Amino acid sequence: MDGIIPLYKERGMTSFDCVSRLRKLLQTRKIGHSGTLDPAVDGVLPVCVGAATKVVDYLMQSGKQYQGELLIGEATNTEDLTGAIIAAQPVPQAIPAAKIKNQMAKMTGEITQIPPMYSAVKVNGKRLYEYARAGKTVKRPRRHVTIKQFELVSTDYDAQSKQQRVRFRVSCTKGTYVRTLVVDLAKQLGYPGTMSWLTRLKSGGFGIDQTLSLADVRDAVTAGTIKQYLYPLDYALKDYPAMELTTDQWHAVQNGGWLKANEVQPEDDQVVLKYHQAAKALYHHDQQFYKPTKMFLTK
């Protein structure tokens, strides 16, 4: 069984929990996901099965979109509501929507982030959350990400609690910590903040309306229709130009052979090579030849 399942990950589950459940349902070990979602976050989690695990990296290159909520007035050690409160400051009056939008605009584009201590990033062979749980803080690697869109959906001020809630939508590149982004927004507005909820709307070229729940997958397996819901690995490569190989070219490509530049149409830096409409390899242009970048299927 080969293909991509756009899974809907429920809150309360880890991404590994989802993979583990799918391995049992689909009776295969060869499964991988493209982009971890925190247990408290729900939404789109593309999962690659069988030979499609070879395109995980290409799925991860596509942008992601989220919708969520920032609570202004208190901060936690995890930057979301799963952690302990480490700071609180009353918001005396409503922060104007125009001021929030203006600050969001300043945080759009290429930015540098420091991953939160409660994250799965590895430092010296250990996950950051392992250090955090042990009460240790370590130097974290900076990462450069791009915020393509950061917009205000709505905002409400609670005069009784002296807190403000900001609902937002963000489109960004892989590796972005949305928790950190919105906590930084609160800091720029002059207050502690924490992310109160988050849903991933898009990932790997899939929207949330295309997803299947684990229950949906279970029912499809029972009905014997699961293959109808698998997207071909080509889906992860749809942004690359493609070329259909002749039988002679396919025999050469099967063995990792190079193709002359004048054999490949359209000419581009990278081209997906197909045989019988199925993606077989991704080749790149190198001087007078096209050479293998990644082999997907050899049969």
**Nearest-5° Cα angle at 25, 21 to 202:** 60
> Among 69, 62, 34, which residue's Cα sits nearest to residue 171?
62
> Same domain for 18 and 90?
no
- Total structural domains within the chain: 3
> Same domain for 191 and 138?
yes
| Average pLDDT value for residue range 187-204 | 97
- CATH number, domain at 259? 2.30.130.10
Residue with tokens 């430092």: 123
- pLDDT tens digit sequence for 280-292: 999 999 989 999 9
- pLDDT tens digit sequence for 137-182: 888 888 899 999 999 999 999 999 999 999 999 999 988 999 999 9
The strand pairing partners of 88, in sequence order, are 74
Whole-prediction pTM value?
A: 0.89
- pLDDT tens digit sequence for 237-257: 998 999 999 999 999 999 889
Show which of 200, 219, 253 is a domain's final residue. 200
> Same domain for 102 and 23?
no
83 lies in which domain range?
64-200
Calpha distance 281→266 (Å, rounded): 15
> Same domain for 71 and 162?
yes
Q: Which two tokens stand for residue 8?
A: 């809907």
pLDDT of residue 34: 81
Tell me whether residue 38 is one of the annotated catalytic residues.
yes
Determine which one of 38, 80, 184, 234 is catalytic. 38
